[in-house]
Amino acid sequence: LNRKKISALVGVCPYNRDSGHFRGKRCISGGRADIRSVLYMATLAATRFNPVIKAFHKRLKEAGKVPKVAIVACMRKLLTILNAMIKTSQKWKPAMAN
């Protein structure tokens, strides 16, 4: 699957809550809650120990993102990385964190 479909399947893609002139907050919903909860715990560990996700999370927090929003963004990034690894049948090779 591509990154949009895989994030929708797990339930971490943002959906808008707009109606007419009203522009609501974007929130995650739907998907598979059991997979999302496992991914959440894996992301919490990754924000502490994985250099790529840790740098991404730090950059989001420094940009002023709310902590939960930063975690969900890291969840999507981790999910995209894992999907690409499965698609190409490669093992984890950490890139240099910027």
Output the pLDDT for position 61.
Answer: 95
- pTM, two decimals, is 0.78
pLDDT in tens, 16-65: 766 777 676 777 777 778 888 899 999 999 999 999 999 999 999 999 99
State the Cα–Cα distance between residues 16 and 22, nearest whole angstrom.
Answer: 11
